[in-house]
């Protein structure tokens, strides 16, 4: 069971991760999600 403090920590971690991803994308770097998406698209193109 997650306590109230645990939920707050999870939300804080998610918010921090989200801000980090925004900073990476504003600097022109690929985020983890965009890299994953590119990999999936490339694999589907190669899949015959």
pLDDT of residue 39: 93
Distance CA 17, CA 34 (A): 15
pLDDT digits (tens, 9 = 90+) for 6-24: 777 888 888 888 888 888 7
Instruction: Outline where DSSP puts E strands in 1-48.
Output: none
Higher pLDDT, 23 or 41: 41
* Cβ contact 21:33 at 8 Å: yes
Give the length of the chain: 48
Give the list of residues 6+ apart from residue 32 with CB closer than 8 angstroms, or none. 21
Spatial separation of the C-alpha atoms in residues 33 and 38, rounded to whole Å: 9
């Amino acid at each position: 069971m997650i306590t109230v403090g645990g939920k707050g920590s999870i939300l804080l971690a998610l918010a921090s991760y989200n801000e980090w991803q925004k900073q990476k994308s504003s600097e022109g770097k690929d985020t983890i999600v965009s890299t994953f998406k590119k990999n999936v698209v490339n694999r589907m193109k190669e899949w015959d």
